[in-house]
Structure 1
Amino acid sequence: MPSVKNAVVTGATSGIGEAIARDLAAAGMRVVLVGRSEERLDQSRRRILADVPDADVRPEHADLSLLSEVRGLAERLADPPPDVVVCNAAVIADIADHTPEGLQRTLATNHLAPYVLLNSLVEPIGARRARFVVVGGSPRALARVPIDVDDLERNTSRGLGAVRSFQPFTAYARTKNMNAMFVYALASRLRGTAITVNGAHPGIIRGTRLGLKHNRGLLRAFGAISQLLFSPGGPEAGADTPTWLATAPELDGVTGQFFVKRKAVATAPHTTDPARCDRLWDESARLVGR
């Protein structure tokens, strides 16, 4: 493996994603910052350079809610292929918000984009060693929101509870369970290769944006109450476990696990069941046309 490693961080224009990118740059990696706003990408790059003057960081514009743009991003990242990919981008979108490709935006951004991006990079990486890190949600909180593996679109459209203003968060939570299941499914399919796949919960972190534009009613009240639950340290604290998963020598070969505060933890049985993970994989493939 070359002395300078190439890293990719999605959702890198603020909060945890920017902090992860800064940490990886400080560790000597070349870092690609992925975001949907060219202006915010430039601002993030400038902030990282202010903290790490010799950082090698490059912005890559892509709207991860559009699978066509995810595929284009993967093509641009393939040469040279990355050594580290951190899938951090996530949104909480209105239930009625569908992309021009016809997919509900939360589902497309939070689950289908990592599915397409990481799968697209496996072949270019080939026999090289690489680490995939997927930033997920709290295993304890998400244990109560199992997904419907037979109809992925239903998870962000129906059965979201009676309180309309809180429904976007329920849909978001379901996609975070998909993140954990995707980690297990992809790690299983890549066993025997030099690519590892792990998930991480960064904690409830102040400064996380999540693209939340429809913050009203109970969801607004929840946001205000959650201010009391923020982990100390802000985005830098949230970046710690994902960065550790991407860089720690002691994690060579460790794959198919989910971590909280650098400790491997068990997620809910409905996320670890192999048959359910396989069904999620097949339905994801159907939705993205693979």
Structure 2
Amino acid sequence: MNQGKRAVVTGATSGIGEAIARRLAAEGMTVVMVGRSDERLNAARRRVTAAVPGAEVKLERTDLSLLGDVRALAERLAADVVPDIVISNAATIAGIRDRTPEGIQPTLATNHLAPYLLMRSLIEPIGQRPARFIVVGASPTGLTRVPVDLTDLDCATGRGLGIAPSFKPFVAYGRTKNMNAMFVYALARRLTNTRITVNGAHPGIIKGTGLDQNIGGTLRLLNLLSKPFLSGPDTGADTPAWLATAPEVDGVTGKFFVRRKQVPTAPHTTDVARCDQLWDESARLVGLTPALSTRNSGRG
């Protein structure tokens, strides 16, 4: 069923992303692995092809914190064989005051604006072909208490991030993960009249993701203490890879899954007005109009 399909996986040089890529390659797909470093991409490809002899793996070096890089990636993907599956897995935790060369806070750029721009840019090239978009999010239960501040997406004010400096970047990260769920719902509604499905997935609390490289203080200590009890990347890859391949979710869209089960997310992530406000502001930040640029979209 999946033989010959093409899948794009971001954040594919290690951890969950690499495990997803390996699973999809084992299904007979051509896998496009996206990462920031040529060295890490080549090393990850060697590991995938060693595990799956004969796997067809292509590499795309892209810094997903840079919108210019994301646009260029979308153009290259559209000019080649259009993907059947796009899995947004890349994520980072950066300092609240950090800014990319484009002036955007890196956590917001990488975790939310990159998948927003990439997936929107691929809708028109995909057209009426069937395709699956999967956004790797985070725990719906754990994120209930960190609603997105729609007037402060990049957390520039520091409002609501708490007192402890070491926790603030993690709270900002949590907000972007709530944005992921809101984006899934908003995009799914806008694609009602297409054959593209959009779903979110929580991979679980997984070690080996690399996110702990940019956290410090008490949070780093807690992370180190918990590592021996966490599951590995293969466990984290299960639900996203299942959403990409399983026949039982064909046509299912606008849902969020944990351990292959559909679960609700917080009311502040499902509120249509809030989702639309995030959609419109995200469009402004990436330089798009709110309406989808496709003849095949549903709600504009």
Shared fold (TM-score greater than 0.5)? Answer: yes
Instruction: Give the C-alpha shift of residue 199 in structure 1.
Output: 0.2
**Deviation (angstroms), 1:213:** 3.9
In structure 1, the partner of 2:186 is 185
Within 1, Cα distance between the matches of 2:60 and 2:216?
Answer: 32
The code of the aligned residue for 2:120 comes to N
Which residue does the alignment assign to 1:9?
A: 9
TM-score (norm 2): 0.93
Could you list the structure 1 runs, at least 4 aligned residues long, displaced by more than 3 angstroms after superposition. Answer: 155-158
Q: 1:224 Cα deviation (Å)? A: 2.2
CA-based RMSD of the aligned residues comes to 1.5
Residue 289 in 1 paired to residue 287 in 2?
Answer: yes
Match of residue 272 from structure 1: 270
User: Which residue is 1:95 aligned to?
Assistant: 96
Alpha-carbon displacement from aligned partner over 1:173-222 (angstroms, at most 9, x marks no partner): 11000000000000010012000000000001111112x44332122123
Give 1:63's aligned amino acid: D
Structure 1 Cα separation of the partners of residues 147 and 3 of structure 2: 42
- The question of whether the paired residues in 2 share the 8 Å contact of 1:87 and 1:134 is answered with yes
The answer to whether structure 1 residue 75 and structure 2 residue 75 are counterparts is: yes
1:134 alignment partner, SS class = strand
Partner of 2:105: 104
Q: Distance in 1 between matches of 2:151 and 2:215?
A: 29
Q: 1:1-290 to 2 correspondence within 5 Å?
A: 4-78=4-78, 79-154=80-155, 157-210=158-211, 212-227=212-227, 229-231=229-231, 234-290=232-288
Q: Please give the alpha-carbon distance, in whole angstroms, between the structure 2 residues aligned to 1:220 and 1:265.
A: 29
1:67·1:288 contact (CA, 8 Å) conserved in 2?
yes
Shift of 1:2: 9.2
Displacement of 1:63 in angstroms is: 0.1
Query: What is the deviation of 1:262?
Result: 0.1
Between 257-266 and 150-159, report the one with greater CA deviation. Answer: 150-159
Kindly provide the CA deviation profile for residues 210-266 of structure 1, in whole angstroms up to 9, marking residues without a partner as x: 2x44332122123124325513xx111110000000000111100000000000000
Give the aligned residue type for 2:110: T
Q: Matches of 1:220 and 1:33 in 2, distance apart? A: 29
User: Which 5+ residue runs of structure 1 have no aligned equivalent?
Assistant: none
Q: How many residues get paired? A: 287
- Offset at 1:100? 0.1
Counterpart in 1 of 2:296? none
Question: Is the alpha carbon distance of 1:189 and 1:223 closer, same or farther for their aligned partners in structure 2, counting shifts above 3 Å?
Answer: same
% identity of equivalent residues: 68
User: For residues 15-64 of structure 1, what are the alpha-carbon distances to aligned partners after superposition, in whole Å with 9 as ceiling and x for unaligned?
Assistant: 00000000000000000000001100000000001100110001100000
> Partners in 2 of 1:156 and 1:124 — Cα distance?
38
Is there any run of 5+ residues in structure 2 with no aligned partner, and where? 289-300
